[in-house]
Structure formats: C-alpha cells, structure tokens
Amino acid sequence: MSFPLYAPAEEHAMLRETVRALADEKIAPRAAAADETEEFPWDVYKALVASDLHAVHVPEQYGGAGADALATVIVIEEVARACASSSLIPAVNKLGTVPLLLSASEELKARYLAPVAGGEAMFSYALSEADAGSDAAGMKTRAVLDGDHYVLNGTKMWITNAGVSEYYTVMAVTAPGEGARGISAFVVEKSDEGVSFGPKEKKLGIKASPTRQVILENVRIPASRLIGEPGSGFKTALATLDHTRITIAAQALGIAQGALDFSIGYVKERRQFGKPISDFQGVQFMLADMAMKLEAARQLTYHAAAKSELAMHGSPQKDLTFLSSAAKCAASDAAMDITTDAVQLLGGYGYTREFPVERMMRDAKITQIYEGTNQIQRMVMARQLLK
C-alpha cells in the first residue's frame, strides 16, 4: 500500500465544500428544532436528494453517483457536523444496501438500488433483536421456505429510520440449530402484508431519526428476495459491518468537529478576568487535546475508508476488519471526549439547550454503542491481532 492511498483528492475537497455549504444553509439552522420535536427531517432529506447526497455510494450502473468510500465518509461527516440525526440518512442508506452490493443478484440490485439512488426510497438494516444485540447470531426471527416464497416471523429491535424507510435488509434463521450458518438475508418492503412498526423509542440523542421495532407477522415474500445463498446471511452481515462501521466513525468525526468548531468560537468571545478565556493556558490545552484526538481519529477513519474501497472492488484487505473496528472505536471515543469537553468549556451555558454542544454530547454517545459497542470492537480487534 502506498502512503497516498487515503489522502483526499481535489474532488474530495470540493465535495466537502459543497456538503458543508448545504449543511450550514439548510441543516444546521433546524437541527435544534428537529431534536426538540423528534420529527424526521423530511425537508433535509429532500435537500440531500436534490443535491444527490442522500446515497452517494450507490454505483453509477444503478443510477447512483458512484462515490468512493472516502467521499461517502466526507458527506456523512459534514452532515453530522450540523445534525447527527440527518447524517443517518446517507449512513443508513449505505448500511441497508451494502448487503446487496456484496451478495445480491444483479436483478435484486437493479430493482432496489435504483429507487434509493433516485431518492424514491430509503433502506434500513434489521439485524438486532431484544435478546440478540451483541450476540446477533442468537436471533430468533425465522424465515420458512414455502414453495417459491419465504414466510418471516419475528421482531427486530433498534432499527434506525424504521417506518420512514421503504426497504429493509432483514436477517432471519432459515436453518434452526445451525447457528450463524443457518442465518439468511432478505429484502423486506414496508408495504409487505404483515410488516408493522413499534412505537418510536424515547432516546437520549439522535432524536430526529426514528428508532423502532420492525415487527414481522407471517410476512410472505418471494424467494427471489433472498440476498445471496441460503445460510450466507450472517457472513454477509459481518462483511457489511466491516464497511459500515467506518460510516459510524464518520458520523462521530462530524459531531466532534461541530463541537470543536463551536467551542473555538465561544472561547474567543467569552471574557473573564478582563480577557478572552482563550488566553488561558488551561483552555488552550483542552482545545489542543480535542483537536489532536479528532485528527488522529480522522486519519484512521480515512485510511479504513480507503481499504473499504479496495475491498468493495474485489481486492481483499486482510486488515479491513481490524481497521474498521479501530476507526469506529477511536472516533466514537474521541467524539464523546470532545463533546464532553465542549460542554465544559461553555460552562453553565454548555449545559443549556440555548447552545448546541449539549445536543452534540447526547448525540455522540450512540456512536459508542450502535453497529457494535466499543467493547465488542475491542474484542474484534483483539481476535484479529491474535489470529
């Protein structure tokens, strides 16, 4: 691997400017209201679709922009800088569709990727269950073959953008007793008979992105909606997360960058003892540490994104699993530290909803939990090291 592999190119810098301008104009001004009302930001979705930033990763042959993994990271990062909930639009569209890109038939890809690329539908990912979170292989959802159809029964938990997404990648057991080798992946549509959703979870953060149960009651779908071969679903799920943990890292980077940017502006203006608090060494050291942690996590994330891109194009990367877990873990831990320090730098003001850093701190917390807790990420990394 040559060193420039993950260095952003000129087009990445231009993309960042484009996304930041859109985020500053149309996303940031309504982020606080979206958090307060807990309503999905349809206006933001429409703005992202209008600029073709809602699912940039979809390949051109399916009507998408065909952006590389680093470009996708930059889009998510810049949207998250303004509003973490809104960044889950491009992030979850990628999470839901990567299983198709990795394993689905061309027919399935064409049928479901094109509407996502065109902004006609969003795509969520349904793996976790109430008793199968970190231990996803212990899922109970069943898919029983009946002629040329499968019948699905079960309840998926913690599904991001559930209810607003039209399509769902659903993992279900097709061969009970075979553990991970008995799990298969399917495309389920919101409109399928027997699909319903639980109430919206009342959450600490990312409140404008609905998190709900996906309930499957005798959902009968064509066997052609099987993603890959029967029994390959868990393998596809793990391979998917190798790519999409990097998007969670990107979200964490954006949240942290937003908090750092606001903090810098604030400490330059806030005066105590007759001078800006930015003149105090204690404050300067806090800012330096915040920026250092952020930049270290960013470089690791961009490096992982470059590896992801190579892997998606048929060049296996033995260290992708380690790097994607490391990026997600490092970036989310950094985001939690940085946003907490941002609240501290603003003092009493930081603890109020008048300023955005308390929202950023609440939003940052989930990045340490979803797509595998950071304790699980450390287990994944250790296993890679000990192979």
Q: Is 371 in the active site? A: yes
Contacts of 27 (CB under 8 A, 6+ apart): 41, 44, 47, 79, 82, 83, 86
- Cβ 126 vs Cβ 159: under 8 Å: yes
Architecture label for domain 123-231: Beta Barrel (2.40)
63: left (phi over 0), alpha (psi -120 to 50) or beta: left
Q: What's the token pair of residue 124?
A: 């969520």
Quickly list DSSP for 142-176.
EEEEETTEEEEEEEEEEEETTTT-SEEEEEEESST
pLDDT < 50 positions in the chain:
1-4
Does the domain at residues 3-117 carry the CATH identifier 1.10.540.10?
Answer: yes
Q: What's the token pair of residue 91?
A: 């992030």
Q: Which of 368, 286, 381 is CA-nearest to residue 334?
A: 368
Q: What's the token pair of residue 13?
A: 């810098």
Q: What is the predicted pLDDT for the residue at 5? A: 58
- Select which of 77, 78, 309, 371 is catalytic: 371
Q: What's the token pair of residue 81?
A: 């800088």
Q: What is the predicted pLDDT for the residue at 9? A: 87
Contacts of 133 (CB under 8 A, 6+ apart): 157, 158
Q: What is the predicted pLDDT for the residue at 84? A: 98
Q: What is the predicted pLDDT for the residue at 285? A: 98
Q: Residue 262 is which amino acid? A: F
Identify the residue whose tokens are 């930041």: 20
Q: Where are the domains of the chain?
A: 3-117, 123-231, 234-386
Q: What is the predicted pLDDT for the residue at 268? A: 98
Q: State pLDDT tens for residues 2-33.
A: 344 567 889 999 999 999 999 999 999 999 99
Q: Which of 217, 262, 247 is CA-nearest to residue 327?
A: 247
DSSP letter assigned to residue 24: I
Quickly list DSSP for 244-312.
HHHHHHHHHHHHHHHHHHHHHHHHHH-EETTEEGGGSHHHHHHHHHHHHHHHHHHHHHHHHHHHHHHHH
Compute the chain's Rg from CA coordinates.
Answer: 21
Task: Report the predicted TM-score, pTM, of the whole model to 2 decimal places.
Answer: 0.97
Q: What is the predicted pLDDT for the residue at 8? A: 80
Contacts of 338 (CB under 8 A, 6+ apart): 256, 259, 260, 290, 293, 294, 364
From 1.10.490.10, 1.20.140.10, 3.40.190.10, 3.40.605.10, which CATH number describes the 234-386 domain? 1.20.140.10
